[in-house]
Amino acid sequence: MLRIVWILLFLNCIPDGVFCRKFTTLQLVSKVVLEHSDINIVVCPAAIEMALAQIYLGAGGETEAELKDVLSYPGKSKYQVMEAYRRAQNPQLKIISRLFLSSGFSILPAYQKMSKSYFNIDAESTDLSDQGVNKVNQWITSKTKGEVVDLVDPFMMDDTAKVILVNAASYEAFLKFNSAERNFYLPNEKRSVRVKMMDVLGNFKYNFQSKLDSHIVAFPYGNSNLSMVMIVPRTFRGIGNLEDNLEHLDLQQLKLKRVNISLPKFKIKYDQDMAQPLVDVGVKSIFNHPNLTHLTKSKEILRIDSLAHSASIEVNERRGRSSASEDSELEILRSRRRRRSRSAFKVTCNRPFLFAVVQGTKILFFGRFSRPE
């Protein structure tokens, strides 16, 4: 079973331009993985994009132009851009989201109408004191059916907080695995640990990319149009070179090949304020002097102070009860797979590697697995 659980985006705005250049998802995630080495990481560019689109709905002037450039969807008007954004979304990726504005600011009806149309959500004015944060947390817990509790920390709030945007996404898919215990190597510590490794055999998209010195394997999730991409360094100490050259990753060069890929079970939860990575790739207006005149008519200027991002992913196998006859059939199937796997190209994720969940070549989730926990 692969299960991508819940994601939070938190925007803290305080009263208070530089125009943005376009950037790629790889440039953004590179800022994250290079900042923190040798730890497990996962981020959700799809959720970050949705948060920026919600801000775009309320933006005007230079801020609107900046975010239009960032989102990079075709169209001259905001309506055309948002229609293109809507068409590009994957219905299998469920994202719930809501913008909470401090009760001292009124939300424009036009913004509410557009938000309901494009995101099937509305914004709400509420007290953003400790009691108000509890209300936000209760909403998140309700929408995630108890999966997420107390996600917004009241200590992150202060008297200047004006806006919270919470954003959660989930996706589940099931894969058939054979599993066995094997070594996972920790090059920096010159040791290995035993982990449960899962074997997946099939005709998958594959390429060895010399600039990354890494194997790239993409395998689908059942009947969905999403795939998981494993980016595995050729050498045990190759993760550093891979991350330094990540912008050269090319998912369009993958070709079908018979591959037997072994990957560990893992579960990652990672929190990161995405404000600085976004500033580093050129998104600056919304963090300085944004024009949010299509969100509220308040004369008080708001700027986005932080964009805290929390994501988790779980990759696991799913087992159920089986009868004696089913066990016998399964053993025959495993025997056949072992014979076929001998002729397949072998890729083993037994060292630090990168991974992504993609729709075509669009990256929805991206992460690094460095160590079993």
Residue 69 sits in a domain whose CATH number is 3.30.497.10
- Alpha carbon distances (Å) from 205 to 14, 219, 261: 47, 7, 12
Condensed to tens digits (0 to 9), the pLDDT of residues 55-96 reads 999 999 999 999 999 999 999 999 999 999 999 988 877 777
Say yes or no: 144 and 284 in one domain: yes
105 lies in the same domain as 94 = yes
Which tokens hold the place of 141?
A: 């817990």
Give yes or no: residues 248 and 219 share one domain: yes
Residues 180 and 303 in one domain: no
Distances (CA, A) of 260 to 102, 229, 332, 344: 53, 14, 18, 6
Does 166 lie in the same domain as 102?
A: yes
Question: Which among 261, 373, 272, 242 is positioned nearest to 314, based on CA atoms?
Answer: 373
Q: Are residues 193 and 213 in the same domain?
A: yes
With a pLDDT cut of 70, the percent of the chain lying above it is 81
Work out the average pLDDT over 108-128. Answer: 89
Q: Are residues 162 and 184 in the same domain?
A: no
**Whether pLDDT at 190 is above 70:** yes
Backbone conformation region of residue 333, classed left if phi is above 0, alpha if psi is from -120 to 50, else beta: alpha
Residues 31, 157, single domain; the answer is yes
Mean of pLDDT over the chain: 81
Residue 92 CA, chain-centre distance (Å), reads 14
CA atoms of 240 and 243, how far apart (whole Å): 5
Q: Does residue 116 share a domain with residue 234?
A: no
The DSSP 8-state label assigned to residue 248 in this structure reads G
Within 10 angstroms of residue 67's Cβ, the number of other Cβ atoms is 24
CATH of the domain at 351: 2.30.39.10
Which pTM does this prediction carry? 0.84
Residue 77 and residue 215 in one domain: no
Same domain, 197 and 342: yes
pLDDT score at 259: 95
Query: Phi and psi of 62, rounded to 5°?
Result: -65, -35
Domain count, the chain: 2
277 and 309 inside one domain = yes
Q: Give the structural domain span for 233.
A: 176-264+320-369
Residue-level pLDDT at 231: 98
Q: How far is CA 368 from CA 273, 351, 354, 358, in A?
A: 17, 11, 4, 15
